[in-house]
Structure 1
Amino acid sequence: MFKKMVITSAAVIGSTFGFVVPVMAEPVVIQSQPDHVANSSSRGISSSPGPDPAFVENLMFQVRDLEQQVAEQRGLVEELNYQIQMLQQEQKERYVDLDQRLLNMQQQLDMQAVAPAEREVSPSLSESAVSDEDILAEYNAARDLIRNRDFPGAITALADFAQAHPNHELTPNAWYWLGEVHLVSREVTQAQAAFETVVDDFGGHAKVPDSLYKLGVIAQQQERGSQATELFNRVISEYPGSQSAKLAQARLDSN
């Protein structure tokens, strides 16, 4: 009887263990989070706040300010280039005028020197021709000093020429170039006096419009705007079509 109970108990226990073992042997499944949840969590951890709006606005303001400054500088450079072109053209016209006058004077001297036997030459005419040659040589020597940029020497030579030959045909040119050399040497008062001498004492001479224009330039540089405008308009009205009138108009248009 006792043996049957033992056998029955063992059978029950064995069946119990046989049921438990398969259940415990089943693998445990670990459930992971979806990818979008993990990524959003990771981004939330590594994200940083954006730039300060006030800082960005300040940078934009500085950029606009720099752009404005660059535009202003570009305009200034264009204006200076235009003025340089005008001055170069003015200088070219001035030399052409001077060379033409010197050529005309030389031709007159040659005509006086040729064929002495065909006409009676009085002593006074002969002396006058020699004097004109000397005067021309004296004037050319003064101009050579300008070309060699010996401005102090040119000022002395031109002033001596104008004083020694107050009524000669080249004297207005000497006064004009004297004004130019003084202006280059930054002696504005002396330059103005020389140009005024051409205008006041040699009316009708070809250098009058050039001298008027230079007086307008001096007035403009000294910030005497109304006087500069008056002088430029005078050049335009009294000497239309001249190179000085074109330069004066350009000065008025640039203001």
Structure 2
Amino acid sequence: MINKNVKVRSFALALCFTAPFAMAEIQQVSGGLSTGAAADLLFQVETLQQEVQQLRGLLEEQGHELKLMKESQRNRYIDLDKRISLLMSASAANEFNQPSPSAQSEQKTSPRNAVDAPMSAPIPFAPVNLQPPTVQSQQAYNNAYDLIRQRKFDDAEMAFSAFVKEYPSNTLTGNGFYWLGEIKLVQGKSQEAIEAFSTVTQKFPGHNKEQDALYKLGTVSDQAGDTEKARSYLQDVIKRFPNSKAAQLAAGYLSKIK
């Protein structure tokens, strides 16, 4: 895009400088040219001037498109930064701290404690047997999450993809898929984001990230033009997690959907 703009700009400038000289030359030699030759030269100059105007218009249009692309990318980063700030304050302790010995004992005997503690309303039992984080898995998760905080989204995408593949039945795996969805959004990969959020709700029901994943599915579906599916996801959040932050966000977003 930038190279193309440079080429167009260079050509336009060349035409701008060439046309006046050509016009002056015509005026100087027109006395020694036939009427037809002078008219032909004048026609060529007028054609060059028209092309200059067209190129200027094209350059302005491309400049506007480039400006919109930069604004869209900046807005994505700002949006992710806001979501990270909000979620970090509510879930940082659960995501980064090792389970206590008593919690580990409860996880071995109760499937409900096989996921992080719910943020608000009670959450149904998860039908899968998740394992508590080991030192290695916790460190791998922390390293991947730190890449998000450093805004290294491409590296974070690879790190979380490797994490969920290596630890498919970890209590942090649902978190890993959720953050993969957030990263895909900031990269503009909406369909892949939907797949990541759907994995949280389908393979890790009862996980503490399920309500957030449902909310994101609602907003992304709406942005993709599927209003009915968006309403369904948002209403599900409100119905199942009425006292959660996600339910408040879902209600506010739902009121804006036409």
TM range (shorter): 0.5 to 0.7
From 187, 210, 218, the equivalent of 2:212 is 210
Q: 1:181 corresponds to which letter in structure 2?
A: I
Give the C-alpha shift of residue 91 in structure 1.
Answer: 3.8
Question: Are the structure 2 counterparts of residues 133 and 195 from structure 1 closer, same or farther at C-alpha, using a change threshold of 3 Å?
Answer: same
Confirm whether residue 239 of structure 1 aligns to residue 252 of structure 2. Answer: no
- The worse-fitting range, judged by mean Cα deviation, of 92-101 and 179-188 is 92-101
Does the CA-based 8 Å contact 2:96-2:142 persist in structure 1?
A: no
- The TM-score with structure 1 as length reference comes to 0.55
What is the aligned partner in structure 2 of residue 248 from structure 1? 250
Cα distance in structure 1, aligned partners of 2:172 and 2:220 = 24
2:87 aligns to what? 94
Q: Secondary structure at the match of 2:197?
A: helix
Identity between Structure 1 and Structure 2 (%): 33
Could you tell me how far apart the structure 1 residues matched to 2:153 and 2:96 are?
Answer: 24
Greater relative contact order (Cα < 8 A, sep 6+): 2
Aligned to 2:161: 159
The one-letter amino acid paired with 1:143 is Y
Once the two structures are superposed, what CA deviation does each residue of 1:21-43 show, in whole Å capped at 9, x if it has no partner? xxxxxxxxxxxxxxxxxxxxxxx
Unaligned runs of 5+ in 1: 1-83, 113-127
Q: What residue is the counterpart of 2:37 in the other structure?
A: none
- 1:197 aligned to 2:190? no
Indicate whether 1:133 and 2:135 are aligned: yes
What displacement does 1:235 show? 0.5
Q: 1:143 aligns with which of 99, 123, 145?
A: 145
Give the equivalent residue in structure 1 for 2:98: 105
Structure 1 residue runs of 4+, over 4 Å off?
Answer: 106-109
The structural deviation recorded for 1:93 is 3.8
1:177 & 1:108 partners in 2: Cα distance? 27
Query: SS where residue 237 of structure 1 aligns?
Result: helix
Name the structure 2 match of 1:181.
183
Q: Deviations over 1:27-67 (max 9, x none)?
A: xxxxxxxxxxxxxxxxxxxxxxxxxxxxxxxxxxxxxxxxx
Change (3 A) 1:237 1:247: same
CA–CA separation in structure 2 for the residues paired with 1:135 and 1:247: 31
Q: Shift in Å at residue 105 of structure 1?
A: 2.0
Work out the CA distance in 1 between the residues paired with 2:161 and 2:144: 10
Q: Secondary structure at the match of 1:254?
A: coil
Q: Say which one has the larger Rg.
A: 1
If the length of structure 2 is used for normalisation, what is the TM-score?
Answer: 0.54
SS at match of 1:220: helix
Q: 1:244 to 1:100 in 2, by over 3 A?
A: same
Q: CA RMSD in A?
A: 2.7
Change (3 A) 1:144 1:210: same
What's the offset of the Cα at 1:254? 2.2
Q: 1:98 deviation in Å?
A: 3.0
Distance 1:108 1:140 in 2: 20
Say how many residue pairs are matched: 154
Specify the code of the residue in structure 2 equivalent to 1:232.
Answer: L
- Note if contact 1:93-1:243 (Cα within 8 Å) is conserved in structure 2: no
C-alpha contact 1:175 1:197 (8 A) present in aligned 2: yes
| Distance in 1 (alpha carbons) for counterparts of 2:169 and 2:239 | 28
Residue by residue over 1:138-170, the C-alpha shift from the partner in whole angstroms, topping out at 9 and shown as x without a partner, is 111101111111111111100110010011111
Q: Which amino acid aligns with 1:194?
A: A
Q: Distance in 1 between matches of 2:224 and 2:173?
A: 28
